[in-house]
Structure 1
Amino acid sequence: MPPMSFGPLLVLDGDGTAYGVGGLVLDCPARTIPQLVAWTLEQPVGAPALNRNGMPADPLVVLTEAAAERFGLPARLEGHEQRAGLRLEDDHPIVKQITRAKWKLTLRGFGPWARVYRPAKAGARQCVQFALPSWGALDARAWPGVSDMTAPEIARVLGLYAARVTTPRGTTAVTGLELMTSLRPPTRAVRNDTTGAWESAHNPGSLGTAPVDCAPPEAPPEHPLAQGWTKGFINEEVFQWVRDVDLVDGGEVTLACALGLDVNAAFLAASSRINVGLTSPVHVLNPVFDKKVPGCWLTDLSHINLDPRLPNPFTPSGQRPTGPAWYETHTLAYAQELGHNVNPTEAYIRTTSGAYLDPWHDRLKAALLDTMASLGVRADMEPADLLAAMERLPDQDPGLRAVLAAIKATAKGGIGQLRKRATGLRYIPGERWPALDRPTWRPDIRAAIISKARVNMHRKMLKMASAGLFPLAVLSDCVVYPAP
């Protein structure tokens, strides 16, 4: 039987029936988690690598609530387990069962998403991932209604997501981040000219295998580099602005309605062809601004006069800057586009850069458009037909709508993971936290995406203003206009 011919995942129900993609139905004889791991690895379950330099996806087994009880797991994590970080205690019988069978768990233990593995054997991975919807693995905000679906329907929904995006590897945010690495693996195999042997080498265009520190002004307040830093921090966030009531004119006041216009997948769109740094920042004094160089720049934009009926594009609050501040490259490039001089006094720039996110954007965009088309909404529709199709969307296939929501959450959450903050009651500001040790902890890339998205929003509003239409409020990717 060909490898991976059963598809990327199985959904196991309480009677021992395992459901896969394409209507696949199997009888699973396993009665313990170690037996289930061994049985799964005997099946052709998994997914090929998304990049020729990448790794195939490990098989995913989803346990329904009834299946969890079948294997001796609690139907839900409650009480002490719930308070202890959503995972079983190390002395739980199931955890002991796994370790006695010579299997291992990752540091996050056995929780809503768990990995059970042994070291690779003869170059082949021995790892099975588990997801337990009844423990909260499929968050209702990202996977609306999926936890309550039947096992075959869960297999259909997750299988479609896996085909169009990737096999889920945790929350949609975690999956979004992992997708970046899957599409731009940090290493590639190269042949040693001397020995003729294959060796691992840096993959050009990737973030590599080593984490890099951000620039001090790019750090969140709890970061070690932020301690004692007194020159201010970059604040590239989404718009949150309301127009001053004194600037609402008489004609607008007489209009009966307010209309919200939402930009579909604004942050995903902003990641398209975006040039981001691939290395550590370099500190420069009195630099000449270059819109092609990613980085953060210290300059004063408070002298720029703009129409107060629009949010100021240089700040998330939409208010005029009050003095020198740190800005991401796209924000300053937009100031130049509007006809103003930019004279930074200091900068942290990345001298090596590239379109790291291109394959990530392209895959998620294709998944989004394909799923919208499956729901009857196509990009080539006439405006009236498009609006009618969008109005019918809430009545369409719930499974497809869940996939659509998950794709959007993957894009948005993956970007958020680039600046994952410290968590935990025991965390002390100034200490490092685990996310800092991965190459994909890159707050500068997140800042670039949000800066570009905010600039894109302002550019659209400026075009509307040329027709005499001014927003009442803006929140993230939604603009509210007065309407009759």
Structure 2
Amino acid sequence: MREPQSDKAELFARVDELLADLSAQRTPLPSLRERIRLRQAGGLSTAQIADVLGCPAENVTAWEAGKHEPIGIPRAAYARLLEGIKALERPEPREKPARRIPAAPLATAADPPEQPALFTAPPAHSAPPPRNQPPLPKVTPTGPLAVIDHADTLVAHFTNASQLPLDTDDLVGLLQWTLRSGLHQEALSPKGKDSDPLIVLTPAASTALHLPTELSDRALLRLPAGHPVLVQLNQAGFRLTRRGFGPWSGIYRPVVNNKRASVNVAVMAWGALSQDGWNLPPLPPSDLAQLLGIYADRLLTPRGSTAVCGVKLMTALRPPTKATYDPASGKWVSGPNPAALHTPFEPAPPEAPDVHPLAQGRPPEQAMEEEAWDWRRLPDQRERAEFPHVVGLDTNIAFIMAASSLSVGRNAPPRHVVAPAFDQKIPGAWYCDLSHAPHDPRLPSPFTATGQAPTGPAWYTTVTLAYAKELKIEVRPIEAYLRDDRGPYLNPWYERLRDAYLATMADLGVHKDIPQADYLAAMKRLPTADPALLALLAAIKATGKGGLGKLREGPRTIAAPYARWPALDQPTWRPDIRAAVVSRARVTLHRKMRRMLTETGRSPLAVLSDCAVYPAHHPTALDVVPEGPDRTGIAGLLRLGVNPGFAKEEGTQSMAWYQQQYNQGINPARSIKAPA
């Protein structure tokens, strides 16, 4: 019996659809960096592209980060969109093509790739064409920032490698242009706001704008009151934030009709990008704009030191306020965001730093000491005889990783409880005696920063006591300060830093999921990679580390003992959260070292923070970590790889060197890395 013609047509249509889908899967796509560059060149956000393609914005972000690739018809549509943007691009003002980051090849030990450079050799400066040449093509400012240089006139360099001469010669005119330009970064959270534009002044630009070459006030690092530039800004209606006009400044006009008019300014001549976590190499303005654009795209628009950026990233991803409907007025108003930190709280007494007002009169043993390890031991006779070398293994972004999915207190003051039952779901500080816990001298104690066994009651975070329970140790808290409002506040912060770190490592030729030997070879080539990319990587890591440090920021100036300082009034001043992160990093490393001892019979000789020194037969990390069935290590043990929580080889030395360092009272983990 023959099938009806309609069934045959429907069947053929399904076959054609399948063939079209297979064809679409073979559609070539640009490199990861080119995808980002083209999107930025078109002035598009990931949300706009996702809306056109009918997919979540997270998919577009993942395609640009290389986490996974589009398939089927969406792949063909995505390729068509990128090709269309490329066709619409105007020619560069300069003769040479726009510089871009090439996709880094997979690193293998057998075939080491030639390391791609982020930037080609630049001219001495980026000046506009001479007066007798045709004017530059019209350029629309795009991106979150501009680097302002000066030769014959001020020139703005954008993150997509375009540039635009500016018709102004003073700071007021430059700020007015910036506010009209449309430069901004879209909000990182649906509850957040777009970022203010950033303008970076090269030394030539700041001189042209009548700013001094250096700040005479070296203590406060700000332009003195009464300076002509400040007078000019004031007369034009601009105001400065409390920190004044320094290396990083916020300049704004008062809010009108609920609209902000703010610009962030970075002055390179005053150290804005060469200190405080920023150590960028000398770059021409166009290349600098591109590099900062990558940082902004992967994290956020720079706002100050990398530490400041770290805490600003927390609040950008978890804004303290959100739109809330007010039934009384029938309007949407600004209200607190329960998933964020929106209210400042006093810490629990044991959590307060020694200079805090709550620490006045506090006995030393009542202070919480949840800090990273500084521990070392002498090798035993067998280790000295069997192992002629020592190897340092440093955990990748260990403290950033420790923030992942960590439940912390949010917007409730600590509740004091006497003789509580331990509950590992409640963040808090617990006073408990763990001196009865068994201690293996081959490993540092997970309960003290010194690595020595506790000798009496002490204050611990929930994370530490939960690990004690995991080790089958009896836990009987004497008292506690508990936080009932809790949640994984830092999780999106960790994820954004993780993705930025991995994407930058991939740009440098170091990829995920490669054999440990290939990873080790790729890391040995890393110091010779492009200095700009290496500086970007360092800035990303400093952003995470500095952001965690800001949670317990101390006073910046010398004040009376136990006097309050401004940071205490910030909702993000939370030493309890920092203590929980540090505690988690410490017990995570202890868990891996304990399993290493069980599986390999080898234990660390020294630990400093996230670096552990092991004895070795040969001067290589491959001698210490197990290979595993697929040569990528064994889960739960120390293993080599680029992933957060995996390890890299920090350095190798001789066993004799280790003993010499130990005898001098130095922790060998501090200096095992050979000087460059």
Within 1, Cα distance between the matches of 2:501 and 2:573? 25
Structure 2 residue runs of 5 or longer lacking an equivalent are: 1-41, 46-140, 618-676
Change (3 A) 1:251 1:475: closer
Match of 1:186 in 2: 320
Query: Normalising to structure 2: TM-score of the pair?
Result: 0.69
The residue correspondences of 1:286-297 to structure 2 (distance < 5 A) are 286-297=419-430
- Does the 8 Å CA contact 1:284/1:349 hold for their aligned counterparts? yes
1:385 corresponds to which residue? 518
SS at match of 1:449: helix
Aligned partner of 1:215 in structure 2 is 348
Which has the larger Rg? 2
Matched, 1:47 2:182: no
How far is the alpha carbon of 1:145 from its aligned partner?
3.3
Question: Which residue of structure 2 aligns with residue 414 of structure 1?
Answer: 547
Structure with more contact order per residue of length (Cα contacts < 8 Å, sep ≥ 6)? 1
Q: Which residue identity lines up with residue 202 of structure 2 in the other structure?
A: T
* Aligned residue number for residue 234 of structure 2: 99
- Show the counterpart of 1:160: 294
Q: Which runs of 5+ in 1 are unaligned?
A: none
Segments of 4+ in structure 1 off by > 4 A? 1-5
Per-residue CA deviation, residues 163-195 of structure 1 (Å, 9 max, x unaligned), is 000001110100110111110111111222343
Partner AA of 1:315 in structure 2: T
> Which letter maps to 2:405?
R
1:62 shift after superposition: 0.4
Say yes or no: does 1:204 pair with 2:327: no
**Per the alignment, in what secondary structure is the counterpart of residue 134 of structure 1?**
helix
* TM-fit CA distance, 1:2: 7.2
Residue 26 of structure 1: how far off its partner (Å): 0.9
1:30 aligns with 2:165: no
Cα displacement string for residues 358-384 of structure 1 (whole angstroms, at most 9, x for unaligned residues): 111111111111111111111121212
Render the CA deviation track for 1:70-90: whole Å, top value 9, x for unaligned.
Answer: 11112223xx322x3111111
Task: Determine which of 421, 432, 447 is the counterpart of 1:299.
Answer: 432
Please give the alpha-carbon distance, in whole angstroms, between the structure 2 residues aligned to 1:375 and 1:96: 46
1:70 aligns with one of 201, 208, 211: 208
- Asked if the contact 1:142–1:402 (Cα under 8 Å) also holds between the matched residues in 2, the reply is no
Cα deviation, 1:39-74, whole Å, max 9, x if unaligned, reads 111112111111111111100000111111111112
Deviation at 1:14, TM superposition (A): 2.2
Structure 1 residue 352: Cα displacement: 1.1
How do residues 73-472 of structure 1 correspond to structure 2 at under 5 angstroms? 73-77=211-215, 80-82=216-218, 84-140=219-275, 142-146=277-281, 148-208=282-342, 210-230=343-363, 232-243=366-377, 245=378, 247-278=379-410, 279-425=412-558, 427-466=559-598, 467-472=600-605
Q: Is contact 1:47-1:59 (8 Å) kept?
A: yes
Q: Which moved more, 1:332-341 or 1:388-397?
A: 388-397
Q: Which moved more, 1:384-393 or 1:317-326?
A: 384-393
- After TM superposition, the structure 1 stretch with the greater mean CA deviation from structure 2, 32-41 or 448-457, is 32-41
Q: Following TM superposition, by how much is the alpha carbon of 1:422 offset from its aligned partner in structure 2, in angstroms? A: 1.2
CA deviation digits over 1:209-237, x for unaligned, max 9?
x2111101000111111112336110111
> Is the 1:281–1:350 Cα contact (8 Å) retained in structure 2?
yes
For residues 44 and 534 of structure 2, what CA distance do their matches in structure 1 show?
30
Report how many aligned residue pairs link the two structures. 476
Which residue pairs with 2:609 in the alignment? Answer: 476
Distance 1:432 1:140, change over 3 A: closer
Cα drift, residue 10 of structure 1: 0.4
Moved more, 287-296 or 195-204: 195-204
1:254: how far off? 4.6
Task: Determine the C-alpha separation between the residues in 2 that align with 1:162 and 1:346.
Answer: 45
The CA distance in 1 between the partners of 2:184 and 2:481, in whole Å, is 43
Matched letter for residue 149 of structure 2? D
C-alpha distance in structure 2 between counterparts of 1:139 and 1:309, whole Å = 42
TM-score (norm 1): 0.95
Alpha-carbon distance between aligned partners in 2 of 1:141 and 1:102, rounded to the nearest angstrom: 30
Q: Indicate the SS of the match to 1:81.
A: coil
RMSD value, Cα: 1.6
| 1:370 alignment partner, SS class | helix
